[in-house]
Amino acid sequence: MAKIVKITKKPTTNSIKSMKDFGEHLMYQRTKLQLSRQTVADFCSINYKTLENIEKGNESCHISNVIQVAHMLGLDIKVEEK
């Protein structure tokens, strides 16, 4: 039987000021798509713990893994000047 994925609370802002903010957006998008951490990790060829660290906002995560997960979840990363 497939694991039920509970949708997390939607972040209150689109402004990302920290890895924690970014991780919250990734987790929200993943759960909104009803994907488990293991499914996303497998699809991105990273381990479960790496994805967990990204979603928790661990600052030691490789940016390439973060970008790969965001892309897989259908999120664009844009840089804008203030």
pLDDT tens digits, 30-72:
999 999 999 999 999 999 999 999 999 999 999 999 999 999 9
What amino acid occupies position 53?
N
The domain defined by 19-72 folds into: 434 Repressor (Amino-terminal Domain) (1.10.260)
Q: pLDDT class for 2, splitting at 50, 70, 90? A: low
- pLDDT tens, residue by residue, 12-21: 988 899 999 9
- Quick check: 35 and 7 in contact, CB under 8 A? no
Which residue stretches of 1-82 are H helix? Answer: 19-32, 37-44, 48-56, 63-72
- The predicted pLDDT at position 1 comes to 56
Which of these, 78, 81, 59, lies nearest to 70 by C-alpha position?
A: 78
